[in-house]
Structures are given as C-alpha cells and as structure tokens.
Amino acid sequence: MTRLSTQLLLAGVVLTTALGGCSDQKTTEAPQPQGSAPISSTAQGQFTLPPVAPITPTSANTEPTGVPPAVAPPQVDGALFTDPLRVTTAWMRQFCQTDFMEPINGNLTRAATYATLEATAADTTHGDTAQSYQQMQNQKLATRCDQVEASINPEAPTTPSMVYVQVSAARTQLADGRPFQTLPLVSTRRVVRGGDGRWLVDAAVDAG
C-alpha cells in the first residue's frame, strides 16, 4: 500500500467516526399542538407532558359544579303581575325546571301561578304521560335552568291587554344529579292582562 493510499484510508476512518458520533447526539422534537401548554424533551428523548388539573369529586349532598341551583317555589308578588316581562320570566323559571321526585308535570303545576287556566291545560296535553313519567323516575332525570331572558316581540301585534313575549333559558339536563347536556329552551307566548289588571302567560304560539 502506498503512502497516499494509507493517508486516504485513515482520513475515511476519522470522518466515519465523527459522523457516527454526531448521529448519537441527535434528538427529535415532538410536534407542538397549537393552543396547548409546551411539551419539554429530555436528553434521553423522553417527553414531559404539562400537568393536568385534578378533578375534585362532589359529595352526594352537593350539586355538581356548573348545575344551576333549584328554583324557589312560586311567589305571589303583586308587583310582579304588573309587568308582562317579569311575569313571563317567573313563569319560565318554574316551567323549565323538572324533577323526577315531583308529581307528574310538577313544573306545570308550579308555573300555573303565573299562567292562565287555558295555557296550563294546553301545556298539560303536551306534558308527561304516565309512561314518560315512569321513565323519568327510573332514570332519575331532572332539569335545572338559568340565563332566563324575556323580550316583547316588536313585530307581533300589541294592545293594552295583550303582548307577545319571547322567553328563553339554558336548560341543563341531569341524570341522578349529574349534568350530561345543556340545551336552549325558547318559546313565544301570548301574555294577557285580565280584568283584575294582572298580566298572565297565555297560550304558546310556537313549537318551543
């Protein structure tokens, strides 16, 4: 072997060794999800995930976090019946909340304080049947509501004794005290003023 060949061979060995050493030190960055906490990597290529906030369980006597509180029983407040929006809001708070521990259509019985007899009768025809009420009891179903809002429909006819009010609420559904879904509940009701001067919620004019 010539002296030149020996030098080239030695140079190749040194270059190969150097490249091998560099490949051993190379690490791969984990993809970084947008909007998440940073993920750090260690020298050994292991990744450390961001800490997760612990979930605090609730006791049997405490409603789960995020569930609106139960509504108070209906109150016969004379001032409330002088305002169609206030009486409709009070009606919705009672109408929206249901509970398997109440008698069948207990929400309609409570809401009747703020409604005409005709409206309560019509709502009852669309309420729970004996079969649906039994299923409600078997599954321990209930609903709780908040974010109740009411406004007069400006496009509907209005008279001194009749207005149309759109009322809405966020209804949280529960099974055995635990929430599993929140959906909007919206209805447009005719609100009428009787001969005694009181405003009362009357018939529904939509499918809500």
CB 109 within 8 A of CB 98: no
CATH of the domain at 179: 3.10.450
Give residue 100's pLDDT. Answer: 97
Does a structural domain hold residue 179? yes
Angle ∠(137,142,147) on CA atoms, nearest 5: 165
**CA separation for the pair 200, 111 (Å, rounded):** 11
- Sign of the Cα pseudo-torsion (133, 137, 141, 144, in order): positive
Task: Print the domain residue range for 151.
Answer: 80-204
Does a structural domain hold residue 39? no
Lookup: tokens for 129: 């049947």
Does a structural domain hold residue 58? no
Lookup: tokens for 136: 């409600």
Angstrom distances, CA of residue 185 to CA of 130, 136, 166, 192: 23, 19, 11, 22
Structural domain total, the chain = 1
Give residue 10's pLDDT. Answer: 39
| DSSP 8-state secondary structure symbol assigned to residue 64 | P
pLDDT over 50 (residue 20): no
Chain segment 106-146, per-residue pLDDT in tens: 999 999 999 999 999 999 999 999 999 999 999 999 999 99
Does a structural domain hold residue 2? no
Chain segment 159-186, per-residue pLDDT in tens: 999 999 999 999 999 999 999 999 999 9
Does a structural domain hold residue 91? yes
Query: Tokens 């004996």 belong to which residue?
Result: 130
Say if pTM beats, i.e. exceeds, 0.75.
no
Lookup: tokens for 113: 């304080």
Does a structural domain hold residue 187? yes
Higher per-residue pLDDT: 113 or 56: 113
Does a structural domain hold residue 157? yes
Does a structural domain hold residue 135? yes
